[in-house]
Structure 1
Amino acid sequence: MSTVVIQVGQCGNQLGLEWWRHIASDPGQSRDRCPFSSRDGKLAAVFIDSEPKVLQGAKQFLKNKVLDSSIVLAQGGRGSNWAYGYNGHWHEESNGLLHRAIEAVRRAAERTDYYGGVMLLHSLSGGTGSGLGSRLCEEIRDTFPAGHILTVSVAPHQSGESPLQNYNSLLSLASLHRSADGLLLFHNDKALTFAQTLERVPRSTESLSPVMPTVGSLTVMNTHIASCMAGLLLPVESLTPTSLGSEPWELIRSVCPIPAAKLLHTTQAYSSVRTQWDRLATSSLQSVPQLSSTGKPYSSRAVLAVARGNNDNSFRLSNVLEKLRKGHRCVSWNPFPIDHWADTNNRLGDSPSSRLLTVCSNHSSVSSLLDHVVQRSKEMLRVKAYLHWYQRYGVEELDFELALETCSAIIQEYGCQ
């Protein structure tokens, strides 16, 4: 079962290149068994951007790995405007970026051995990543209704990257919640904190990531997110004997028990030596938020733990799952709140004895991001700030009101125990 990876916008393509470096460096991902490749051995990927600069710098890496039809570029950005990315410009209807992107996705899906769905990498704040990414998810849902959609969505810094970022995030989250099956949500603020921590602390036997580059915070942020993706989604032995490549879709089945709540939080802990799984679980829980700003405890609807390097089968014999269940405060109404996968080898590590624990949870702390976006958007809408920028490309106040209703309903859902 194959997954088509769609990279949209500057953030999505930078993150995607780090992801493919993980795939390329994994000796276990041979051409005939990698679920992220096509029948011809090329990457099952579509690269989309309204500005060519990121992918121009990656031409050497992409050489002979992708078809020309899988790279869809335009000359001119989308002005950090969700509406422009979503609807495009009036003169682009016949051969615009959206039309060419949909055609590239269709061709990529047809080249796979068995199409399972798409994984979309993008930002919530940029015009191309947020607007075009949202529109692509909607179109793919209509075109391939039986396929799954998993997004890797990167939220902007709360301190501000663009005056339009809260509008863009609001509209993106509302649209994605309607069309996607699951959203792996990463925060730039948390990733930057992680990157700064790595730059201050020397390499040790235990850390939060198996890969710790030292060149710039942006590189470390992207590498950390790509490492979390790889920890969750690369094939594991507990699934591959019968269903190679089903990891993204089994992830959705495990951690999204109800369609009203599908925003996912990910943590990771790594050891270059054979550390006890209990210690790695404790490390992973350190970055899990416990209380809201009002002092209310957060909870998880479901948790998936992926253990790589379990060559002595000690993971299943440990008390890790119980520790994670308590640490994530799993809800009482889910009779099976914890799922786990295991692999004897850790191909992401730097030694044969290394271990990696990646934990994905449907955690109610995501409501803090939604609440921030909703409140800031309401303040701007009250004074009609920047609305004319969106009306120019077909998005009216009613669209904002509907998005507010959707995101407010998600917040309310996560507030229920």
Structure 2
Amino acid sequence: MSAIWLQIGQCGNQVGQEWWKLVSSEKVPDSAVNRYPFYTRDGKLSALSVDSEPKVVRRLLREVKTGSFRDSNILVGLRGRGNNWAFGYHGPQSEDETSLLHRAMASFRKEVERRDSYSGVILLHSLSGGTGSGLGARLCESIREEFPMGYILSVAIAPHQGGECPLQHFNSLLCLSWLQRYADGVLLFHNDDILRRMQASGGKKIEQVPALEPQISFSDMNTHIASCLAALMYPVRSLRTPSGVSIGLEPWELLRSVCPVPTTKFLYTSQVNKRGTASWDGMLSSIVRTLPRHSCTGKIHQSTAVLAVARGSGVDTFNRSLAPIMTKMKQGYGCVSWNPHPLNYWTDPWNIVDQTSPSQSLTICANHSSVSDYMQRVLEKARIMYDAHAYLHWYWKHGCEEGDFLQAFEILDSVVDEYSAAGDH
């Protein structure tokens, strides 16, 4: 039941680097028992790094020297993709560059063959960059076509609403529509949301400048995303086999828990970590307080399913107070009435998120209708640009067609409608 990790573009590779730091830490207990889902038999990480230019993956080359990252799984092109989805999806015209997709798929096939049992792939990528959005969408489509029985879980990072690139709304529109078509689930992280939560919590690794707001870097935000992934993906005791060995069920049990309807697959993740001994009820309250309550039209947000992962030395108290915690979670996340089993939970006595002892972390992943607010913003901004014919020539130039945009608008409109009607089933 092992997975393959595929890091695509600058953002995907930076998040991936932070993720592997946590997973491969020497502080992790029982690493030999828990390492199987992430390593092949020869001790190499079951991961691929793909980027259209070499500067971002240079740090990974150091990992190659230590023997953890397979050098043949670092696949780099010679030029970037110009922050353009069409350029990333179709690739440049020159023969030497069009091979990046083919090389990535060839390495992916070899990695599948190395695994005892291939169960799926986790994609790490952004929605706004040309490589992360365009090439990421193309790889997602290609993997679905070649390995239709395997799961595809996307970890997608949305750009700041204020703007990182003038093409980001088109890129996000097209990439989201491809993920809706080909992925089984999408862990959606929004940069603005992460920044707001980290500023509110005064999270670790934030430099405090007198008389100024805490300075939060992209590295801090990548670390936060990686810690959420570690909480959800790192082996938990409650999912181990009777032999005590993890076989990597976590990503796929996550999908089965929080994606009960195939048409609604975008997931909202929140996390609280406390050093020492903390109240689980208090940690849950701090998460629930940050939840978006109403849509821009005033409609109350609801959840079709929720998964809570409690890690740390106090999991026994979590289990003892399970009933009131589940009741509070069901109310706080506004679980829909038509799902008879909307809540699930996992526990593990080791806190991979913060490897100091004692510490506790509570991570909640929900299929929450607030994602429709982000989708609606992308649709509105992309439609304004499309109606004004802004930047479209850059997409036509690289092989995109009008039908790609029209289909993307239609797909995202249907996603917004599905989430709006989630509580009415």
TMscore range, shorter length: over 0.9
Cα deviation, residue 28, structure 1: 3.2
Aligned equivalents of 2:77, 2:268: Cα separation in 1: 33
CA distance in 1: counterparts of 2:287 and 2:186, whole angstroms: 20
Shift, 1:286, TM fit = 2.1
Q: Which residue of 2 aligns with 1:204?
A: none
Segment drifting more, 97-106 vs 122-131:
97-106
Structure 2 CA distance for aligned equivalents of residues 271 and 345 of structure 1: 13
Superposed, 1:174-253 pairs within 5 Å as 174-197=177-200, 201=202, 212=205, 214=207, 217-241=217-241, 244-253=247-256
> By how many angstroms is 1:100 displaced?
0.7
Q: 1:358-385, CA deviations, whole angstroms, 9 ceiling, x for partnerless residues? A: 0000000000110001111111111111
Residues 191 and 311 of structure 1, relative CA distance in 2, 3 Å threshold:
closer
Report the CA distance between 1:194 and its aligned residue.
Answer: 3.4
Q: Does 1:2 align with 2:2?
A: yes
Q: Does 1:173 align with 2:176?
A: yes
Residue correspondence of structure 1 range 21-36 to structure 2 within 5 A: 21-25=21-25, 26-28=27-29, 30-31=31-32, 33-34=34-35, 35-36=37-38
Once residues 296 and 90 of structure 1 are traced to their aligned partners in structure 2, the CA distance between those partners, rounded to angstroms, is 47
Three-state SS of the structure 2 residue aligned to 1:96 is: helix
Does the 8 Å contact 2:231/2:352 carry over to 1? no
105-114 or 384-393, which deviates more: 105-114
Aligned partners of 2:64 and 2:71 also within 8 Å: no
- Correspondent of 1:57 among 43, 56, 59: 59
Question: In the alignment, which of 104, 115, 120 is matched to residue 118 of structure 2?
Answer: 115
Q: Any stretches of 5+ residues in structure 1 without a counterpart?
A: 202-208
- State yes or no: 1:273 paired with 2:283: no
Q: Which runs of 5+ in 2 are unaligned?
A: 208-214
* CA shift for structure 1 position 91: 2.7
Q: In the aligned structure 1, how far is the partner of 2:186 from the partner of 2:335? A: 19
Write out the 4+ residue segments of structure 1 that deviate beyond 6 Å after TM superposition. Answer: none
The within-5 A match list for 1:2-401 is 2-25=2-25, 26-28=27-29, 30-31=31-32, 33-34=34-35, 35-63=37-65, 64-92=67-95, 96-197=99-200, 201=202, 212=205, 214=207, 217-241=217-241, 244-309=247-312, 311=314, 313-318=316-321, 319-401=324-406
- Structure 1 residues 311, 278: closer, same or farther in 2, change over 3 A? closer
Given that 1:32 and 1:41 are in contact with CA atoms closer than 8 Å, whether structure 2 keeps it comes out as no
- Alpha-carbon distance in structure 2 between the residues aligned to 1:311 and 1:194: 24
Secondary structure, counterpart of 2:235 in structure 1: coil
Contact kept? 1:93, 1:99, Cα under 8 Å: no
Identity within the alignment, % = 49
Mapped partners of 2:194, 2:415: distance in 1: 24
Q: Partner amino acid for 2:38?
A: F
- Which amino acid counterpart does residue 21 of structure 2 have in structure 1? R
2:102 & 2:294 partners in 1: Cα distance?
44
2: CA distance, partners of 1:80 / 1:92: 21
- The two structures have a TM-score, normalised by structure 1, of 0.94
- CA–CA separation in structure 2 for the residues paired with 1:292 and 1:170: 20
Q: Which moved more, 1:375-384 or 1:360-369?
A: 375-384
RMSD after superposition = 1.7
Question: TM-score if structure 2 supplies the norm length?
Answer: 0.92
Total equivalences in the alignment = 407
Q: What do the CA deviations read for 1:167-201 (whole angstroms, capped 9, x no partner)? A: 00000000011110000000011122234446xx4
Distance 1:163 1:29 in 2: 47
Residue 42 of structure 1 aligns with an amino acid whose one-letter code is K
Alpha-carbon spacing, 1:286–1:62, altered in 2? closer, same or farther (3 Å): farther
Native 8 Å contact 1:264 1:361 kept in 2: yes
Q: Whole-Å Cα distance in 1 between the matches of residues 315 and 227 of structure 2?
A: 23
